[in-house]
Chain A
Amino acid sequence: MLLEQLSRQFPDINWAPSESYGMLTIEVPVDQLVPVIAYLKDDPTLQMNFLTDLTAVHYPDDKNREFALVYHLHSFIHNLRLRIKSFVPASKPEAPSLTGLYAAANWMERETYDFFGIQFTGHPDLRRILNVDDMDYFPLRKEYPLEDASRKDKDDRYFGRQGHEGVEFDKRIDRQ
């Protein structure tokens, strides 16, 4: 129902809907984010007036879709949750800010900027929030390993994972 209504309102968007563990997930192009979310919020039948969560995920192997912005919206009226994903390329990690719609987005966007380096255009005060101001990298990106990269015994392959192609580990922060 929700998807039909959205398709009527925005006929040009490919929603790529999927359902994962009971939550509907749709994709929205980054330039359509604000109109779509504003519509979801203000439409009297949907009333997605609660921004539950906002974060990002880094997929370094996905060319031109390196960063997924993930928005969780919630309609208290219908008790309906919706996950919206929007992909941005690593060459231009920019997204519109939602601070005009939800005051809650302010710190969540600052946190996402702090950890992933996503530039939210139109954000009133886009500064680092949890890390120190003079940090010069974005720690939750996959190219920043948590542990000493010279340790051979903790290779990703031993833990059921292939590692990520095209990721060059930043030697600067692994100097020990």
Chain B
Amino acid sequence: MESYFKSYDSVDGELATVNLGPTHPATHGVFQNILKMDGERIVSAEPTIGYIHRAFEKLAERRPYYQITPITDRLNYCSSPINNIGWHMTVEKLAGIEVPKRVQYMRVIIMELARIADHLICNSVIGVDTGALTGFTYMFQERERIYEMYEELCGARLTTNIGRIGGFERDFSPEFIKKLKSFLKEFPARFEEFNSLLERNRIFMDRTIHAGPISAERALNYGFTGPNLRATGVDYDVRVMQPYSGYEDFDFIIPVGLNGDTYDRFMVRQEEIRQSLRIINQAFDNLPKGSHHADVPAYYLPDKEEVYSNMEALIYHFKIVMGEVPIPKGEVYFCVEGGNGELGYYLISDGGRQPYRLHFRRPCFIYYQAYPEMIQGALLSDAVLTMSSMNVIAGELDA
């Protein structure tokens, strides 16, 4: 096998240029890669990004804090609730708001559901790219159930704008709890069935093992975080290193891989889905009683009914909407474990109605630059697999 490739490489000195993207069914998003190919082998790759750049950081400098949440939806749109809640927690950290335990646990449940949805899409798409469409269609049904739960809580499905600064817009409804219970009961078996389609599948393993590997040293140097870093064997997870929203209360493990290749990334995500289920079960069983939002009238919009009947509520409503709320000056960096890595918010407030500067640390923008190195010398079909297993989301990449 090896000698075949050697002779193959040396035969042909002429390189072909192939445009992979910007719109190509195999790239799952708008990215362009200009590949220099020697036959089927990639000699070099040059990614071009920015096709869906929407200037979020500039937009955020012109919006009051509570209007920035919909912007964060559009970063990693496969797990928007994590982005929303991360943003709320950043503002809460800046303003010194303590949320009730119930809100923390509700957030954990929503964020872990979002992580499951994110990983399900990514992993089932790896399946699609190796030619196994079946798992994808079944897992999309399960993702749909998660979206229905979002819908029950906030009314939206993809770009959720879930929650508020200080808590949630409404409590878990009986319908939500019914859906969550049936999801927790039925999903594990279906998920294991999906897992059995791929995990020890000969074709899948042959395609993914040693495809697009990266070492732990290189991954750290490239600023990898999330499942991609853990697949190389580094057990860095923000949920454990700097627990937020009550993650320290839950018992779960951080799976790590060995080789940092496509198969390891797939396996790490599969295990993380199981761990997320464990967290949801623990949070749901121990869900404290109490209010679904913190008592911060200066930040949390009052109920509409109150606004029409209560003078104080009307004043607060007016203050929040007109940006008369006192925001402390300061700068804060807050990060959460997003679907694909450490999602950070670097916020500078000068006391005004909007942020003076807001910078998103987008995990896939940072790790995608390792892509050319990871696919160098690989086959074109492996390059497609490597990209889908890195979980590069165009919205987050281009911000």
Binding site for B on A (CB under 8 A): 20-21, 23, 25, 49-53, 55, 57-58, 70, 72, 76, 79, 81, 83, 102-104, 106-108, 111, 115, 128-132, 139-140, 144, 146-147, 156, 159-161
Contact = CB atoms under 8 A, between A and B. Distances in A.
Given A23-B333, A106-B369, A146 B61 contact: yes
Bin the interface of chain B by size. Answer: 35 or more
B344 A52 contact: yes
By secondary structure, the B interface counts as mixed
Nearest to B399: A130
Nearest to A70: B346
B369 A103 contact: yes
A79 B242 contact: yes
B222 A140 contact: no
A108 B50 contact: no
B30 interface: no
A91 to B, nearest CB: 21
Contact of A57 (B236, B324, B354, B357): B357
A139 B60 CA distance: 13
A75 to B, nearest CB: 11
A76 B62 CA distance: 35
Given A53-B344, A107-B365, A130 B50 contact: yes
A136 B30 CA distance: 24
Given A72-B344, A104-B223, A144-B58, 12 more contacts: A25-B331, A50-B223, A52-B223, A53-B346, A76-B241, A79-B241, A140-B57, A146-B62, A159-B354, A160-B352, A160-B353, A161-B350
Among B57, B58, B356, B359, find the residue whose CB has the most chain A CB atoms closer than 10 A: B359
Contacts of A81: 333
A159 B357 contact: no
A21 B351 contact: no
Interface string B339-355: 00010101010111110
A90 to B, nearest CB: 16
Interface in B38-59: 49-50, 53, 55, 57-59
Nearest to A59: B356
28 contacts: A21-B94, A21-B332, A49-B221, A55-B359, A70-B346, A70-B359, A72-B333, A72-B346, A72-B361, A79-B242, A81-B333, A102-B221, A103-B218, A103-B223, A104-B223, A104-B369, A106-B369, A107-B366, A107-B368, A115-B57, A130-B53, A131-B50, A146-B59, A147-B62, A159-B323, A159-B354, A160-B323, A160-B353
Contacts of A79: 241-242
Given A129-B50, A161-B350, A83 B221 contact: no
A64 B255 CA distance: 49
B382 to A, nearest CB: 21
A107 B398 CA distance: 12
A58 B61 CA distance: 12
Contacts of B178: none
Nearest to A83: B333
B370 interface: yes
A46 B324 CA distance: 44
Contacts of A146: 58-59, 61-62
A128 B351 CA distance: 32
B332 A20 contact: yes
A34 B356 CA distance: 28
A102 B223 contact: yes
Contact of A53 (B242, B354, B361, B369): B361
B348 A57 contact: yes
A70 B352 CA distance: 21
Nearest to B325: A160
A21 B369 CA distance: 31
B395 to A, nearest CB: 13
A9 B53 CA distance: 42
A81 B369 CA distance: 23
Nearest to B369: A107
Given A53-B359, A115-B57, A76 B221 contact: no
A59 B241 CA distance: 33
B346 A140 contact: no
B234 interface: yes
B330 interface: yes
B188 to A, nearest CB: 32
Nearest to B334: A21
A21 B323 contact: no
B93 interface: yes
B220 interface: yes
A129 B331 contact: no
A103 B370 contact: yes
Given A53-B333, A130-B398, A159 B369 contact: no
